[in-house]
Amino acid sequence: MMTKCFFCEYKAEPSYKDTANIEKFLSPRKKIVGRERSYVCAKHQRKLTKQIKYARYLGLLPYVSYQGIR
């Protein structure tokens, strides 16, 4: 069963400034999670990816995380 998109449900747009919300769509290793696991619609997944990459570029989010993984 498909649930409604997080951003459609709250009538919001992904923003690089809102790192707390964006981190929900990253794996523990800080990879961008796919649509199947994040339940985000195609339109918002494209915007989310751009915003995550921009936040990484600005240094707001890390590119990778190896903390506690061996």
Q: Give all domains of the chain, ordered by start, each with its CATH number.
A: 6-58 (4.10.640.10)
Distance separating the N- and C-terminal Cα atoms of the chain: 35
What's residue 42's pLDDT? 95
In terms of C-beta density within 10 A (0-12 exposed, 13-18 middle, 19 or more buried), how is residue 14 classed? buried
Q: Is the pLDDT of residue 3 over 90?
A: no
Confidence band of 68 (pLDDT split at 50, 70, 90): low
pTM over 0.95: no
Phi then psi for residue 23, to 5 deg, are: -65, -20
Q: Tens digit of pLDDT for each residue in 9-52? A: 999 999 999 999 999 999 999 999 999 999 999 999 999 999 99
